[in-house]
Amino acid sequence: MNVSDLDRKLKDVVPVFGVSIGKADDRSTWCAQFKPEATDADRKLAAELIRSWVEPPPPPPPPTVEQQLTALRKAVLAGDKADLEQIEAALKG
């Protein structure tokens, strides 16, 4: 679990110092540490955000060396004008 995503989202909308996660599979153990200026509405909003939080999917893995070499070969074989930009685009793609 990436707590920093939830922490960042809470900090964007309510005055909190941060969030703590007790047990990842038990939302009742998750809580926000509010700043003194937090209102009841802020607290309710934070509770709703925590209750409804869906962790974003992990990023895709980086390409393997074999995939990178295949992309490089394709870029080079695409023609005499396979410059650095084409190779970089192929490696990213």
pLDDT 10s digits, 21-48: 989 889 889 999 999 999 999 999 999 9
The CA distances from residue 47 to 26, 52, 53, 61, in Å, are: 14, 9, 10, 33
Q: Which one, of 45, 56, 1, 47, lies nearest residue 23 by Cα?
A: 1
Confidence of residue 16 (pLDDT cuts 50, 70, 90): very high
Confidence of residue 1 (pLDDT cuts 50, 70, 90): low
pLDDT 10s digits, 46-79: 999 999 988 888 889 988 988 888 877 777 777 6
> What angle do helix axes 65-77 and 84-92 make, rounded to 10 degrees?
140
Please report, rounded to a whole number, the percentage of residues in the chain having pLDDT higher than 90: 44
DSSP conformation class of 56: P
